Structure 1
Amino acid sequence: MATLASVYERIVLAHPARVLVLFALLLLVASLRLDQFRLDASAESLTLEDDQALEQFRETSRRFDNSEDFLVVTYSPAGDLFTSEAIARLRSLRDELAALEAVGSTNSILSVPLLYSPELTLDNVDSELRTLDEHEVPLDTARAALLNNPLYPDLLISEDGRSTAIQLNLPTPERYYELLYARNDLRDQANAGGLSAEKERELDRLENEFIDLKAQLTERQDRTIAEVRSILQQYRDSAELHLGGIPMIVADMIDFIESDLSTFGLGVLLFMILTLALIFRQWQWVAVPLMCCLFTVWLVTGCLSWVNWPVTVISSNYISLLLIMTLSLTIHLIVRYREYQHANPAFDERQVMMATASAMVRPCFYMTVTTIVAFGSLTFSGIRPVIDFGWMMTMGMAVAFFVAFVVFPALLVLMPPPLSNLPADSDRAFTRIFASLTERYGGFVLWGSVLLDVLFVVGITRLSVENSFIDYFKSDTEIHQGMITIDRALGGTAPLDLVINDEPAPEGSDGDAAALECDPFLDECEAGDEWRDTWFTPDKMSRLEAVHNYLDGLQETGKTLSIVTTLRLLKTINEDRSLDAVQLAFVPKVLPEDLASTLLDPYISETHDQARLTVRLRDSSPTLRRDELLKQIEHHMTTELGYERDEFTLTGMTVMYNNMLQSLFDSQIKTLGIVFLAIAAMFLIIFRSFKLALIGIAPNLLAPASMLGLMGWLNIPLDMMTITVAAIVVGIAVDDTIHYIHRFGVEFDRDQNYLAAMHRSHQSIGRAMFYTSLTIVMGFSILVLSNFIPTIYFGLFTGFAMIVAMVASLTLLPKLILMVKPFGSERSPVSG
């Protein structure tokens, strides 16, 4: 240790200017790729690691020529929708939106076939099609045709006929899927057994090309959304307009992330400046720690940019956390530095800094390592963005320690603060309150902690993960209002697909029922006969109708669409008579191509022997429980409708989001279990005492339990942000524990008196703990101004848990030390 201290003094303290120049070069290198820094709020960023539902979702979208990349504009005129003026304004709006470069096509009540005419039959459906765009259809007739059509109500028009929607389709280029599947194939090969050097280069090329293409598509999509909003603004004087759709949600979430990164990062900085100025009242104690915090964020952000590591919704608070964690390290150094200044007024700044670094390097190193363990536990969660967040903060803590013990001392030697006019213990009164409370009411502290633990554990049993995505956003935001309108008036917001698999067609049949030995339209075919090459048979359609009716009848579902919807429409055309077997067989040939692309292709894939039923859930429904609903559907399909489990697949955004939500609770328990096992092991290594390891765990159990328990009692579900709070709280709270126990041991060695050591520890390290906790709580409190509700909860619960951690470290922890006496026996008082 003496050799290391000598090297440290000769390199860092003797040549601070050189150290800072070299560090400036490091910051410069980190800055070279800052233009590559990117944010990601895509569906892929909110899924489980290797979640097969994402691949199923993509495959379904391609097979049925369906994409979630569309925007929905809701249009509710001040008066009646079906007036010449309102329709003219709707047409003008539609035309302006359709002219946008990224919009491939539009769907609206203006362009869809009305399929309503006294002369309309299955034979002349092609020639008798009518649309509001191309024909002079009386508006009353158009209204009746749209509302009586089983396809359009709750989809393009509300059931009361007062609101309508324009769907803007944003096609994804085929190159996207080519790169995606080629990249994933090489990734699978790498995971299975490694790649050759040539294929590794190919994978790197594909990764970079895919990232570049995603960035281009995201930029185009953002530009399109901005253009749509600009157009909508011109029509708000005559109608209530809202914008919805997955691309808008992604774009707005990225906007919220950017806002949180900039606004709240700046807000935390301002709180830090104010707190440091009020506590220490010297400009050096504001400027130096502030620069250290900024340097840490700068360096970590540069590293993320170099490795193309995107920031997601979950990791968006990494700037605030790094600022606070770096400040925590520097505050402990500042308090110790000031103590040495007053204790040794003859020391120069290098001597004081060397004494400070020597005294604090061990507890700060232990603190950093245990915090890294806490954040590193997030890598076991199974949720991709949570894993990434864990690695980000692991790297960030290593950088923060380097900055605290290299950059901070160098700056301080160049800008030494004068001896404070304030006595070293002038502000000790507040922390002495905790020492006095522990001394006089230790039993109350102990049993009060036990009671709180019981209450918090009960609260944890009440935790849930069922939450409404709509409620992630404040009610006055456009995204919330648009989603509510679509959810309640236009069929729901959360998409869910049920794909049913048929047996493959007989080889050589080419899907032609007439070529088969057993004709299902004329003969009684047995189950073993190879005629299951077409979906258009009475038996199959009857089974699909039973599924459709079941899904449509669920309380949580909105609009349900399938081939059954098409058949009901054709029944209306067929003079309200159901299609017989022959008519049913020729449906694909009867419908014109433009109608088939709307009424058949999204629901039947004869090529892949699959039928698709698409459902939209009402996300704002108070009874919606996604996991229960999906299990209920699976159970009904297998027990009531006679399908085998491998004959159908539930897929779509709802399934992926549910998989992520359901993993939250298990992930939280697993994460915390790993954290506490790792920290207990670290405590054993650090303190070399089983007693101290157990004592140190106690306050760290109370802090995350308080946060999770309070959420349970308040019926606030876990979400993609709050899942990380427990690990963060443990990571920060353990810092106080290590510093306090380490300082207590130092103070106890002075006179072997536990009570006196406790009071001195509260007056020294207790102040640093209080300052750090105060800064953290104040810094996170600014997150309540976010428009993203999970961010608000993140700030509130982190602040609350940190208050609990501080109080526990200054009351419960010393009480346990006084009880167990882990540092050995007290020295017997000397008799007079």
Structure 2
Amino acid sequence: MVILVSLLAIIFSAFFLREQVKPYRLITAIAPEHPLRKNYETFVHDYDDENKLYISLHTGRETPWAESIQAIKKIRQELLTIRFVNDVFDLTSAQYPKAVGPHFKLESFLAVDGTLKPESAGYLDNQLFQGMYVNQERNAFLLTVVLQTNFDRRLSKNILAEIYSILEQHNTKSSYTYHILGDLYQQTQFQLEIQKSNLQVLPVFILLILLSFYFFFRSWGVAASALFIIGMSYLGTVLFIAWWEKSLSPLASMSLFFVFVIATSDLVHYFSALQKEGESGGAKIFWPCFMTSITTFIGLASLLFSEIVPVFNFGLYCCCGTVVAFLSTFYFLPTLIKVFNVKIPPLKSNRYLRQPHLLYKYIRPRRWKIVATYFILGILSIASLSRLTFQDSFLEVFTKDHPLTKSVQAFKQDFGFAGNLELLLLGDSEKLESPQEQKLLQDLDLELRALENVTGIASTTVIRQFMQATTPSEQGDFENSLRAMRDSGLFKNLFPFFKNQLRWIVRLRSLNSQEIDKTCSQIRGILEQPKYAGHFRHEITGYTKVRLGVMVMIFESFYFSLLLTVLGIYLSFVVYYKSFRLALLAMVPNLFPLVAMYGVAAYFDVPIDYNLVILNSAVLGIGVDDTIHFLHYLLHTNDRTKNESRVKRSLYAMYAPMTRSTYLFFCAFPTFFLTDFRLFHNIAIFLMIGLFLALLSDMVFNPAFLLILRDGKFLRKKISLSS
């Protein structure tokens, strides 16, 4: 009955969140009043650039040109019948401008029979149209689907489903592969993957936890009770998310799994205490579990100072789950155990005595070597941190087989770019139109194209160069024809002179955050030269710039949140142990895992994912749990007992709960690999390594270091919060 209620609560929560999930917009990661968000929203309002989908059709070399054109025509006609689709731009409907005296006319690239016109064939490789409709090999075509402004984004899945249906239908008639890209597509893929992670990973996660508790305590009653408490913590966090965010971002989804971890840790120690000492054991474990909840809360609460909204929410949700888990464990679980008369069989196997005995026999004669090794490794790791590098590629956040990853690779291969930077040149419209200014803009165009990460630029300068090369005319007539084009709105997405600005679309080869940051710095360096700075101002904006800004803010908050966590946990130790020295002793083994992980990564030149830095505080907050329990037991032994005996008894007593909790984490975290989120995979690896090193520190370094200390006031001081 208890298991059924728990499962129903968790299943209800998962399906409830499924209905709440909306397409994830990266811009919502930034506070509404932040300048970066305001600039981006102004840009989107002016250029309506967020509602486009790009479809790549790769036909292959053997497909006849006429067959490809015919297929594109039919696809375009059917795409236009989809609700909320405003227009579709492709080669079959594309036209290029041609000056006619002071006026201009539009010419189609294709003849009536679908073949390329002789005079227009070369124009497709011009800077203005290169990669806009077809690639240079003429075997991949690009269709741009423009959606209506301000449509309900909850319908994104339906729109994409109709597009998929049309493409699949034609794919059975013609042999081609298709890929989709665009902000809306990326947001929808995030939405679908979040739903998948909750509905597919969650059942496996629950099953593993249920079986693990039964394996530990040989009681289905214990397993059911643990699952019920975890379900309450999960449900409480879900309800809080629904009230606070009214949606579910990737990090909010991850916070639910963190709540599982947090609740599980206390339950393992609680049931281990009951198994060993009965009801009195549950009372004795209250204060150390309270302390572990405090340190976990501190580590996660440090994220509340982040400017990134999802990071703030992640910390908030985990803090909420921590409180619910602790209260449920110590104020509801005892009643549940009594009502259902849950029995915990005593330990029959002596492995929890034999294994710590062998471990102690290994540590005792080698205690000096172990402590020296730890400090040497720590110093070497710190020395290596200067070489540490970070990486991130937003469009490669999923596995290699994921549709979004395949789309990114296809667009890179066929059209030579994966995304854009938006460069706005600000100044007086009349001045920007002058011949002197145009010469300056041509020089700027050449300098920007020479940058390593830039594959092309769409700008009014390119339009001018195209017109001059294709239809030479008198300068006066040429300028008049350009004004006529501007007034007609033909290139309104590039030069809306009502805003006194020019828009340059800078196409990028790589969307790696470090490459984008380098490119932005190079662009700013060029534009800040006296040659350009005195003529116009500039602003770099767009979706790619927003993503870079988010990554930078995450990284900048890393040091502050980590420092805040270390300081907060240390002060809480000082209050709890009433000793600065003992608090310092408790901190040393828990700083080692983070330092060692980053040090090894730096030494072997393994870059760290930007998103993982938010977990540092969480790992430290959770990792200190075993240290707290170990020292609590040590300080509650008889004061007259020799130091060596106290360490030995503490290791024997805490070996079972410490190894059980870590074992459970190692069973549960691999379920993250059932999702296509590479971030979730990295988080699983990061947490397993971090928590394993924390366990190793508590079970090897702590006893070795304590054995070195002489009997004295350092360890004779008892905790005033006695059970």
Same fold (TM over 0.5): yes
- What's 1:310 paired with? 247
Choose which of 462, 485, 488 in structure 2 pairs with 1:591.
485
1:421 and 1:808, CA in 2 relative to 1: closer, same or farther beyond 3 A? closer
Matches of 1:45 and 1:629, distance apart in 2: 24
**Deviation digits for residues 738-791 of structure 1, max 9, x if unmatched?**
111111111243x42222222221222221011011111221122233211111
1:611 counterpart residue number = 502
From 578, 589, 592, give the equivalent of 1:702: 592
Query: 1:53 — aligned with what?
Result: 36
CA distance in 2, matches of 1:774, 1:401: 21
Moved more, 146-155 or 34-43: 34-43
Separation in structure 2 between the aligned mates of residue 772 and residue 87 of structure 1, nearest angstrom? 61
Distance 2:515 2:370 in 1: 40
What residue number does 2:167 align with? 232
- Preserved CA contact (<8 Å) 1:680 1:697: yes
Match of 1:340 in 2: 277
8 Å CA contact retained: 1:256, 1:788: yes
- What secondary structure does 1:566 align onto? helix
Q: Which residue does 1:259 correspond to in 2?
A: 196
The within-5 A match list for 1:58-457 is 58-63=41-46, 65-79=47-61, 83-115=65-97, 121-123=100-102, 125-126=104-105, 129-130=107-108, 132=110, 135-136=112-113, 138-139=115-116, 141=118, 144-173=121-150, 217-237=152-172, 238-341=175-278, 352=279, 355-418=280-343, 420=345, 422-423=347-348, 426-457=351-382
**Cα distance per residue 1:227-279 (max 9 Å; x no partner):** 21222222334112111111111111122222222322222222212322222
Kindly state the Cα deviation for residue 640 of structure 1 after the two structures are TM-superposed: 5.9
Superposed, which structure 2 residues align to 1:437-516 within 5 Å? 437-503=362-428
The secondary structure found in structure 2 opposite 1:560 is strand
Q: Tell me the alpha carbon deviations over residues 8-50 of structure 1, each in whole angstroms, 9 at most, x when there is no partner.
A: xxxxxxxxx9xxx9x99x9999999868743552122344785
Contact kept in structure 1, 2:229 and 2:328, CA below 8 Å: yes
Q: CA deviation at 1:493?
A: 2.2
Q: What are the residue-to-residue correspondences of 1:573-652 with 2, within 5 Å?
A: 573-575=470-472, 580=475, 582-591=476-485, 596-599=488-491, 601-619=492-510, 625-639=515-529, 641-643=531-533, 647-652=537-542
> 2:347 aligns to what SS in structure 1?
coil
Give deviations 1:403-445, integer Å, cap 9, x for gaps: 1112211221123344525348552322334333331211122
Q: Return the TM-score normalized by structure 2.
A: 0.91
CA contact (8 A) 1:374 1:727 kept: yes
Assess if the C-alpha contact under 8 Å between 1:37 and 1:304 holds in 2.
no
Change (3 A) 1:171 1:823: farther
> Are 1:435 and 1:759, in contact at CA under 8 Å, matched by a contact in 2?
yes
Q: Which residue identity lines up with residue 154 of structure 2 in the other structure?
A: E
In structure 2, what is the equivalent of residue 571 of structure 1?
468
Q: Do the aligned partners of residues 30 and 619 (structure 1) sit closer, same or farther apart at CA in structure 2, a change above 3 Å counting?
A: closer
Report the Cα distance in structure 2 between the residues aligned to 1:434 and 1:474, rounded to whole angstroms. 40
How far the C-alpha of 1:824 sits from its partner, in A, is: 2.7
Which residue in the other structure is 1:665 paired with?
Answer: 555
Give the whole-Å Cα distance in 2 for the aligned partners of 1:322 and 1:270: 16
Count of aligned pairs between the two proteins: 712
Q: Percent identity?
A: 18
Contact 2:217–2:344 (CA<8 Å) still a contact in 1?
A: no
* 1: CA distance, partners of 2:358 / 2:85: 66
Amino acid at match of 2:139: R
CA spacing shift, 1:825–1:535, aligned 2, 3 Å: closer
Q: Distance in 1 between matches of 2:604 and 2:654?
A: 34
Aligned to 1:105, the other structure's residue is in SS state strand
Aligned to 2:190, what secondary structure does the other structure show? helix
Match of 1:509 in 2: none
Which residue in 1 is equivalent to 2:720?
none
Give the drift of 1:683.
0.3
Confirm whether residue 757 of structure 1 aligns to residue 653 of structure 2.
Answer: no
Contact 2:27 2:546 in 1 (8 A): no
Q: 2:564 aligns with which of 654, 674, 680?
A: 674
CA contact (8 A) 2:510 2:516 kept: no
Larger Rg belongs to: 1
Q: CA RMSD in A?
A: 3.1
Whole-Å Cα distance in 1 between the matches of residues 215 and 126 of structure 2?
Answer: 69
Q: Which residue of 2 aligns with 1:783?
A: 672
Shift of 1:468: 2.4
**TM-score with structure 1 setting the length:** 0.80
Pick the aligned partner of 1:654 from 541, 544, 557.
Answer: 544
Cα separation, 1, equivalents of 2:37 and 2:453: 23
8 Å CA contact retained: 1:704, 1:801: yes
For residue 534 of structure 1, report the CA deviation from its aligned partner. 5.1
CA deviation map 1:140-188 (0-9, x unaligned): 5376154244322122221222211001112322xxxxxxxxxxxxxxx
Aligned equivalent of 1:811: 700
How many Å apart are 1:362 and its aligned residue? 0.9
The alignment partner of 1:721 has SS state of helix
Structure 1 residues without counterparts, runs of 5 or longer? 1-16, 174-215, 342-351, 504-531, 828-832
Equivalent position SS for 2:107: coil
Label 1:418 to 1:497 Cα distance change in 2 as closer, same or farther (>3 A): closer
1:665 Cα deviation after fit: 3.0
- In structure 2, stretches of 5+ residues that fail to align are 717-723
Kindly state the Cα deviation for residue 115 of structure 1 after the two structures are TM-superposed.
4.7
Q: Distance in 1 between matches of 2:248 and 2:601?
A: 26
Q: Counterpart of 1:527?
A: none
AA aligned to 1:378 is L
User: 1:537–1:585: 8 Å Cα contact kept in structure 2?
Assistant: no
Note if contact 1:30-1:299 (Cα within 8 Å) is conserved in structure 2: no
SS in 2 for 1:104: strand
